[in-house]
Chain A
Amino acid sequence: MQLSDRVTGGVLVVLGGLAAWSGSRLPAVPGQDVGPAAFPMLIGSGLVICGALIALGIGRSFEVPEEDVPATGSRFGGLRVLIPPALLLFYMLASEPLGFLLTAGIMVFVVAWALGASMRLAVPLALVAPVLVHLAFYKLLRVPLPDGVLPAPW
């Protein structure tokens, strides 16, 4: 996800502009000059200025160029970075119907496998880690983790 400064700067200009514009449309507090609109407008304008400066390449001299990481051409290619957030979305959607143990097991297995773990590591990890986490959070910390189709025996 290495983007040029023009792109990220441009995104900031648009975002700042939108924030300032929608901030300016917020209802004012009757009888007062400064209300909820002031702060978003100020920040929005700041973002527009910063975004423009970044897009123009000002301030680059301070940056230490990042070492280029060679893309590892293994499972799933470049989209692999999206696996963790995708799994969090999966957790949000699936933990209620499937239950914590099953959802967590799938998550752990997928991450381990995507990082190149052998079956001998990924499978036991997917079996043990959710149980330990469930014990710690459900029993010790009393977090109401959902049971779903596979309730824990404790």
Chain B
Amino acid sequence: MNELMEGVRLVAAPDVIIAIVASAIYGLVVGSLPGLSATMATALLVPVTFWLSPIAAIATIITASAMAIFSGDIPGCLLRIPGTPASAAYTDEAYAMTRKGQPEVALGAGLWFSAIGGIVGTLSLVLMAPLLAEMALSFSTFEYFWLAFLGLMCATLVARSSPIKAIASMLLGLLIACIGMENPAGTPRFTFGLTDLLGGIEPIPALVGVFAVSEVMRAMATPEPPKMPHRKFGSILAGQWKLTKKYQWPMWRGNIIGVIIGVLPGAGADMAAWVSYAMSKKFSKEPEKFGTGHPEGLVEAGASNNASLASGWVPSLLFGIPGDTITAIAIGVLYMKGLNPGPTLFTENARSMYALYLIFIIANIIMIPLGIVMIRIASKVLRAPRASIMPVILLLCAVGAFATGNNLFSVLLVGVFGILGFVMERNGYPVAALVLGIVMGTMVEQNFITSLIKSDGDVMPFFERPVSAVLAAMTIGALLWPLGVWIWNRTGGRRLPA
């Protein structure tokens, strides 16, 4: 109880409150701009977190990402352009509702169920994390290796892309992580004689390049999105209670699926939304209405992506293994602020953990009033021409990269990763898998090599301990899943004409 009060005191500090409000506004605005994703919003925040107190730094990341995931629904609903990839699953549905003249119902559902999903996700984090922390204390390098590998495999299961290309992206990320001398032997690898590469590739320049610079590049190649017509909205929350009661089951299903997908290392909000939308359609009593402006899928997937956001912090806090690209950034910030992820975080730093939970709850509660304001002014924000936003984004990329180490080489890296991200995206290689490969490379190698040394080069011990056997089975399942789907489609396809 004492620790909880300490947590409250930490959150009530003026700098934390200012950080929450400012990053909420920032997240809402950036998330609502088409193409600027929640990950990008978070990545550009990192240089700012250097100069904040630990709790304020975490607060900006939590708040900005939660807001950005919600406000990605706004352009999706009004313009049929998802603001963040996590909204892409139900953009067509939301837009269909707008065309039916119910934009306020669609946006309200996005807001209301996002907030509920966020709070349920937070509760799951509060309940699960300490329980798992106890288990995690007994984990050895074998378990850590499988967990990290499982995270990487989950990241390749992202919908809408060839699994082989996704695995290739992930391997490319792992290869990039090999650069430098951060390996178990301390041997410089792939540095090409450049001293700037000795320290390895920092994840932040890579993230900023892949998610932000490539977006500015894409803006160069694509026509300006359509201007949003001025629109008057009715009451935004009016119909939501009725929807909550009517779609109680889909809402809970969405929350639970979101929590489960979030807890899986490597799978995040994007995947939660796709899976939940598909589930909703499958189990609905009226699946024929999907795609014509039916709120059921919105309820389920909208709750799901925000629920996964909070529970995605479980593997991040416990094992330092990111649940998705946003928590990958958050882990970096945690290390920087001396809150090193690991099971002991919950015993030795319980008040910081309580503060973190509180920030999640606060962020999801203030999301409702701020979100309503954002929806009302969305037509003004979305009218800002791209030519006025993209230059500032590029400038922030340069300054942000420089600020991470006061090093001009990072600015070049950001540019290189921008090109890489752009080319990969254009050719169907998912960039999230690349980023997770870069972030987790060192950890995967460290645990893999240490385990091999411990076992004298034998692979059997990787499967002998009970938890590591389960994790290994899950990982191999994730690896073979696409193959199974492929064979299923093949045989199914052959049976049909007969």
Contacts and interface: CB of A to CB of B under 8 A. Distances in A.
B436 to A, nearest CB: 14
B25 interface: no
Contacts of B168: 12, 47, 50-51, 54
B452 A38 contact: yes
Interface residues on B, range: 35 or more
Interface in A22-50: 22-23, 26-27, 29, 32-36, 38-40, 43-44, 46-47, 50
Contact of A8 (B161, B391, B429): B429
Interface string B382-411: 000111101110111111001100101101
A144 B406 contact: yes
Contacts of A34: 449, 452-453, 457
Nearest to B406: A144
A19 interface: yes
A154 interface: no
Contacts of B213: 84-85, 88
Contacts of B221: 69, 71-72, 78, 80-81
Given A50-B171, A84-B418, A92-B411, A36 B426 contact: no
A88 B187 contact: no
A23 B406 contact: no
Interface string A101-121: 000100111111111110001
Contact of A81 (B390, B403, B422, B486): B422
Contacts of A81: 217-218, 220-221, 422
B416 interface: yes
A10 interface: no
A60 B395 CA distance: 37
Interface string B164-205: 110110011011001000011101011000000000000000
Contacts of B387: 111-113, 115-117, 121-122
Given A83-B220, A143-B403, A91 B167 contact: no
B286 interface: no
Contacts of B482: 59, 62
B275 to A, nearest CB: 15
Interface residues of A, number: 83
Q: Considering residues B174, B178, B213, B398, which has the most beta carbons from chain A within 10 angstroms of its beta carbon?
A: B398
B163 interface: yes
A44 B418 CA distance: 23
A53 interface: yes
B233 interface: no
Nearest to B161: A63
A96 B407 CA distance: 11
Given A80-B220, A111-B391, A88 B164 contact: no
Given A58-B164, A116-B224, A108 B178 contact: no
B461 interface: no
Contact of A3 (B183, B394, B427): B427
B48 to A, nearest CB: 6
Interface string B464-498: 00000000000000000010011001000000000
B418 to A, nearest CB: 5
B428 A88 contact: no
Given A95-B408, A96-B408, A46 B167 contact: yes
Given A62-B482, A95-B408, A47 B216 contact: no
A141 B48 contact: yes
Given A88-B414, A115-B220, A133-B396, A36 B390 contact: no
B397 A46 contact: no
B187 A61 contact: no
13 contacts: A33-B452, A33-B453, A39-B445, A53-B164, A70-B223, A78-B221, A85-B416, A88-B398, A89-B412, A107-B395, A111-B394, A130-B395, A141-B51
Interface of A: 1-3, 5, 8, 12, 15-16, 19, 22-23, 26-27, 29, 32-36, 38-40, 43-44, 46-47, 50-51, 53-54, 58-64, 66, 69-72, 78, 80-89, 91-92, 95-96, 104, 107-117, 121-122, 125-126, 129-130, 133, 137, 140-145
Interface of B: 47-48, 50-51, 160-165, 167-168, 171-172, 174-175, 178, 183-185, 187, 189-190, 213, 216-224, 385-388, 390-392, 394-399, 402-403, 406, 408-409, 411-412, 414-416, 418-419, 422-423, 426-429, 445, 448-449, 452-453, 456-457, 482, 485-486, 489
Please provide the 8 A-B residue pairs with the shortest distance between their CB atoms, ordered closest to farther. Answer: A117-B387, A88-B415, A85-B415, A111-B391, A115-B387, A50-B168, A59-B164, A59-B162
